[in-house]
Amino acid sequence: MLAPVLKEIDQTTDPAIERLRQYLTIPSISGSPAHVAEVARAAHFTADALKACGLTARVEKTSGHPLVVAQTTPDIVANPGAPRVLFYGHYDVQPPEPLELWASPPFVPTLRDGAIYARGASDDKGQVHAFLEAVGAWMKVHGKLPGPLTILIEGEEEVGSAGLTGYLKAHAKELAADIVLISDTHLWAPGIPAIIYGLRGLVYFDVQLYHAQSDTHSGMYGGSYANPLTLLTQVLGQLFDEEHHITIPGFYEDVAELSGQELARWQELGFDEDAFLAQIGVHEPFGENGFDTLSRRWARPAGDLNGIWGGYQGPGSKTIIPTMAGAKVSFRIAPNQKAQRIARQFEHWLKSFDVHGCAWKVTSYTACDPVLLPVDSPWIAKAAVAIEHTCGRKPVLARDGATIPVVSSFKSLLGLDSLLVGFGLSDDNLHAPNEKFGLSNYTLARRTQAALLQELAR
Amino acid sequence: MLAPVLKEIDQTTDPAIERLRQYLTIPSISGSPAHVAEVARAAHFTADALKACGLTARVEKTSGHPLVVAQTTPDIVANPGAPRVLFYGHYDVQPPEPLELWASPPFVPTLRDGAIYARGASDDKGQVHAFLEAVGAWMKVHGKLPGPLTILIEGEEEVGSAGLTGYLKAHAKELAADIVLISDTHLWAPGIPAIIYGLRGLVYFDVQLYHAQSDTHSGMYGGSYANPLTLLTQVLGQLFDEEHHITIPGFYEDVAELSGQELARWQELGFDEDAFLAQIGVHEPFGENGFDTLSRRWARPAGDLNGIWGGYQGPGSKTIIPTMAGAKVSFRIAPNQKAQRIARQFEHWLKSFDVHGCAWKVTSYTACDPVLLPVDSPWIAKAAVAIEHTCGRKPVLARDGATIPVVSSFKSLLGLDSLLVGFGLSDDNLHAPNEKFGLSNYTLARRTQAALLQELAR
């Protein structure tokens, strides 16, 4: 069944690129209040593209920007008893600024050096579009898809997916499926596909400490009362011990142990720690004692101060005791840790310190669970078959240290695991000027998505 | 000799206030490049006032704003063999902003409620002017002053006194004297005069820690390399132990022990710790364990973080590892500590930490020694006689926790101790809108300065 679909895809590359080009002309900047109508236009473009494939698609209202939903009816499914795949993507994009750094305008898609340059080319319109093209090819060649399919393309991924979360809660039953397929990540390296099977969670806090009604003179008051900045630094300075372990009681209790098998498999990935760090100008790895860099990034929690402020920040000197100090503190939590539990533990730990009359103001911004799909999951096996078929090699099974909140939402709200199979490259300039998507990767994506539609329906 | 001088002062209050009013109309804002000519005008006004008294005065160029110097010649000194007093003050003022909070314009001196309101009324033009009036009264009544006198009025006190420091170095011999008299502080309380005999020094640093060439994604890199913000917080968080002692090795070595006698005298001052802290909205004293608040402010060093910055400071969350973090760190050092030694100790302590590949950028802004005039100094005894004569009660002998850099400069560059006798009040709104100087305090200052001229010449 797949061979003629791949042939169709190979023969329609030029018109596919033209359709992608049109998609990328729409400035669907979800974070810009001035672009609300353009975001809606991209939703309708997405729905129309699905309808052109022969699917029934609708644009659904949410608390924010609309999302696009399509579900196959039994008449267009070859095997209606096959597992149902829920494909997720997003049609919204990051703001393009600074505009002066773009070689061609961000919403005038331009082909050069074998790639298409535009905001959203890789993140995520280009990858969504490749999937739609694969669906279209199946429908054109066979009039049917291999298995039941639900498609969910949202318009708020770049601004927190609030509307999607509400929609998932309200429509959990209708969205019942067997596996989520997401194409919003990248290849392991050029020509080397990857399946991401693990992500860290995120717990993020804003903590502020206050004392005195205003800044005071450090000569007159130094030594009289607790300086909130000194105290905040003292407290947060105790977040790590000498081995760079996080000192919050119970913090590591739930962390999933890393198996020797998994570690051995990672050894074979050829991860070059020195090159990875040299890219950002760093020459000394550092983290939790007793683990290598890949384990620290993928399988171990990490704590970071992401920001701090208080008192005088200008040139020269100003002799004040500031009235407050604040910090952003976050934890990337490892598989099996529970975000809500870590958040409670951190807040309890923070407030266990005597701050000598200062007052805390603590805000929790995010508490997102980590996710981990067992490496021996049959879904991974099926996806690997599809990928090997179109890429000519087995995919790398990798984790990622970052957090993709929608993956946690699919797990917690729909009970679904996610397969992360992406086709971008790490130098595609996501969220930066001159975003691009290699045309060969676009075609690899269309072909591999066609194969995934077949294999995941087995 | 003094009685007719005081009588002259009492009979000429109105014309004296009129002369002060004229002085206060000049916006001699040393920190404002737009006011250079006005600052120079105030210098000439000051010199002219001295000349009107019968002294030879000159306006001297410095690296910045000019300073005014006058020295008595033997012909106008009753006892040329008496000790030479060097009177120091400043004619420059703080910027008046925010203007909308002034009840009357800052450079339109206005009499109301028994005070004169204007920028500089108390800090320091009003106090300088009271001294000039006392000199004028002596000259008018006797044609001579009781002893040799040098007058030094600078125009850069509010911006760091760089020009004065250079001038003192270059003219140390010509400025030889026996004691410095400074009138730039305030009464202990309304009607209760004070002599400040001790000040803390100041050591101020800007410390910055850098790593990686830019901010990085905390998901991708968290756990891979040292976060400079986390590290800076860890290092500065160790500046104090659990007793709030500073942990820098050797830090306390030189601190002068506080005698039981001095402590007993402080007990009699009626210092109300609760009221002192309640003024700024603080209800819990805190500082170095084992000392009371007055000792911590006056006789013990204090360390403070005056500012901190790094990474994301806005609303919500941003998941970055910042490329740098910085802090302002300062120490109020106690009598007998050496600023340069403390600065070296701090920098050595800071750099003794392993920062795992991060790089320090450390800038020392100030290293100013503390000063302490022995309480049994004959100068204090002489000043106390003068003060008791005009105020009707003995002065309070107090220290201050703040730093007056010129006092350290007079000690280190000219070898001179300073007597600090001031006539402002703590609610005179120094450096704030609606600065004022009570007319009764202005007269008390003129009378007491006249008496000090006599007593210090004995």
Rounded Cα–Cα distance for residues B70 and B51 (Å): 9
pLDDT tens, residue by residue, B437-450: 999 999 999 999 99
Examine the domain organization and report whether A240 and A328 are in the same domain: yes
* DSSP reduced 3-state for A57: strand
Query: Is residue B249 assigned to a domain?
Result: yes
Examine the domain organization and report whether B120 and B166 are in the same domain: yes
Find, in chain A, the residue whose alpha carbon is nearest to that of B333. A219
User: What is the mean predicted confidence (pLDDT) over B163-192?
Assistant: 96
pLDDT for B328: 97
- B22: confidence class by pLDDT, cuts 50, 70, 90: very high
Phi (first) and psi of residue B242, to 5 degrees: -70, -15
Domain C-terminal end among B341, B368, B395: B368
pLDDT for B160: 85
- B426: confidence class by pLDDT, cuts 50, 70, 90: confident
pLDDT tens, residue by residue, A368-414: 999 999 999 999 999 999 999 999 999 999 999 999 999 999 999 99
Residue B172, pLDDT > 90, answer yes
B302 to A218: CB separation less than 8 angstroms, yes or no: yes
A330 to B319: CB separation less than 8 angstroms, yes or no: yes
A222 to B401: CB separation less than 8 angstroms, yes or no: yes
Q: Is B78 on the interface with A (CB under 8 A)?
A: no
pTM of the predicted protein model: 0.90
Examine the domain organization and report whether A241 and A331 are in the same domain: yes
Query: Is residue B296 assigned to a domain?
Result: no
Q: Measuring CA to CA, which residue among B210, B194, B174, B169 is closest to residue B84?
A: B174
HEC profile for chain B?
A: CHHHHHHHHHHCHHHHHHHHHHHHCCCCECCCHHHHHHHHHHHHHHHHHHHHCCCCEEEECCCCCCEEEEECCHHHECCCCCCCEEEEEECCECCCCCHHHCCCCCCCCEEECCEEECCCCCCCHHHHHHHHHHHHHHHHHHCCECCCEEEEEECCHHHCCHHHHHHHHHCCCCCCCCEEEECCCECCECCECEEEEEECEEEEEEEEEECCCCCEEHHHHCCCCCCHHHHHHHHHCCCECCCCCECCCCCCCCCCCCCHHHHHHHHCCCCCHHHHHHCCCCCCCCCCCCCCHHHHHHCCCEEEEEEEEEECCCCCCCCEECCEEEEEEEEEECCCCCHHHHHHHHHHHHHCCCCCCCEEEEEEEEEECCEECCCCCHHHHHHHHHHHHHHCCCCEEEEECCCCHHHHHHHHHHCCCEEEECCECCCCCCCCCCCEEEHHHHHHHHHHHHHHHHHCCC
A306 to B326: CB separation less than 8 angstroms, yes or no: no
B219 to A237: CB separation less than 8 angstroms, yes or no: no
Query: Is residue A292 assigned to a domain?
Result: no
Pair A333, A340: CB distance under 8 Å: no
Residue B366, pLDDT > 90, answer no
pLDDT tens, residue by residue, A261-281: 999 999 999 999 999 999 999
Q: Select the residue from A186, A200, A225 to test the B interface by mutation, using most B Cβ atoms within 10 A.
A: A225
Residue B389 Cα, gap to closest chain A Cα (Å): 30
What b/e string do you get for B261-294 counting C-beta neighbours within 10 Å, with b at 16 or more?
ebeeebeeeebeeeebbeebebeebbbbeebebb
Examine the domain organization and report whether A313 and A401 are in the same domain: no
> Counting beta carbons within 10 angstroms of the beta carbon of residue A83, is it exposed (0 to 12), middle (13 to 18) or buried (19 or more)?
middle
pLDDT for A395: 97
Q: Is A374 on the interface with B (CB under 8 A)?
A: no
Residue A318, pLDDT > 90, answer no
User: What is the mean predicted confidence (pLDDT) over B25-37?
Assistant: 96
Q: Is A234 on the interface with B (CB under 8 A)?
A: yes
Q: How many distinct structural domains can be found in chain B?
A: 2
Write out chain A residues lying below 8 Å of B403, CB-based.
219, 319
Examine the domain organization and report whether A195 and A96 are in the same domain: yes
Examine the domain organization and report whether B11 and B117 are in the same domain: yes
Examine the domain organization and report whether B14 and B103 are in the same domain: yes
Examine the domain organization and report whether A391 and A308 are in the same domain: no
Find, in chain B, the residue whose alpha carbon is nearest to that of A228. B305
User: What is the mean predicted confidence (pLDDT) over A349-363?
Assistant: 98
Q: Which two tokens stand for residue A228?
A: 């909130």
Q: Is B253 on the interface with A (CB under 8 A)?
A: no
pLDDT for A426: 84
Structural domain including B312 reads 201-255+301-368
Pair B350, B206: CB distance under 8 Å: no
What CATH number has the domain bearing residue B116? 3.40.630.10
User: What is the mean predicted confidence (pLDDT) over B240-265?
Assistant: 96
Find, in chain B, the residue whose alpha carbon is nearest to that of A205. B317
Examine the domain organization and report whether A224 and A331 are in the same domain: yes
Q: Is A277 on the interface with B (CB under 8 A)?
A: yes
Query: Is residue B293 assigned to a domain?
Result: no
Residue B318, pLDDT > 90, answer no
Query: Is residue A264 assigned to a domain?
Result: no
pLDDT for B317: 86
Rounded Cα–Cα distance for residues A180 and A168 (Å): 13
Examine the domain organization and report whether B143 and B220 are in the same domain: no
Rounded Cα–Cα distance for residues A214 and A321 (Å): 9
User: What is the mean predicted confidence (pLDDT) over B317-323?
Assistant: 92
Q: Which of residues 17-36 of A touch B (CB under 8 A)?
A: none
- B296: confidence class by pLDDT, cuts 50, 70, 90: very high
B357 to A283: CB separation less than 8 angstroms, yes or no: yes
A237 to B237: CB separation less than 8 angstroms, yes or no: yes
Task: Establish, for the pair of chains A and B, how many residue pairs have beta carbons separated by less than 8 Å.
Answer: 272
Rounded Cα–Cα distance for residues B179 and B420 (Å): 11
Write out chain B residues lying below 8 Å of A237, CB-based.
233-238
Q: Is A160 on the interface with B (CB under 8 A)?
A: no
A319 to B297: CB separation less than 8 angstroms, yes or no: no
Query: Is residue B260 assigned to a domain?
Result: no
Find, in chain B, the residue whose alpha carbon is nearest to that of A225. B286
Rounded Cα–Cα distance for residues B304 and A268 (Å): 51
- B427: confidence class by pLDDT, cuts 50, 70, 90: confident
What CATH number has the domain bearing residue A329? 3.30.70.360
Residue A159, pLDDT > 90, answer no
Q: Which of residues 174-203 of B touch A (CB under 8 A)?
A: 200, 202
Write out chain A residues lying below 8 Å of B284, CB-based.
225-226, 356-357
Domain C-terminal end among A320, A337, A367: A367
pLDDT tens, residue by residue, A1-58: 999 999 999 999 999 999 999 999 999 999 999 999 999 999 999 999 999 999 999 9
pLDDT for B316: 87
Average per-residue pLDDT for chain A: 96
Residue A367, pLDDT > 90, answer no
CB-closest option in A240, A318, A401 to B234: A240
B317 to A214: CB separation less than 8 angstroms, yes or no: no
CB-closest option in A225, A234, A305 to B229: A305
pLDDT for A150: 98
Domain C-terminal end among A343, A367, A391: A367
Examine the domain organization and report whether A35 and A92 are in the same domain: yes
User: What is the mean predicted confidence (pLDDT) over A158-181?
Assistant: 95
pLDDT for A332: 97
B305 to A281: CB separation less than 8 angstroms, yes or no: no
Q: Which of residues 393-412 of A touch B (CB under 8 A)?
A: 400-403
Query: Is residue A226 assigned to a domain?
Result: yes
Write out chain A residues lying below 8 Å of B296, CB-based.
223-224
Examine the domain organization and report whether B60 and B112 are in the same domain: yes
Q: Select the residue from B221, B232, B331 to test the A interface by mutation, using most A Cβ atoms within 10 A.
A: B221
Query: Is residue A206 assigned to a domain?
Result: yes
pLDDT tens, residue by residue, B85-127: 999 999 999 999 889 999 999 999 999 999 999 999 999 999 9
Q: Is A280 on the interface with B (CB under 8 A)?
A: yes
Q: Is B204 on the interface with A (CB under 8 A)?
A: yes
Q: Is B285 on the interface with A (CB under 8 A)?
A: yes
Q: Which of residues 308-327 of A touch B (CB under 8 A)?
A: 308-313, 316-322, 325-327
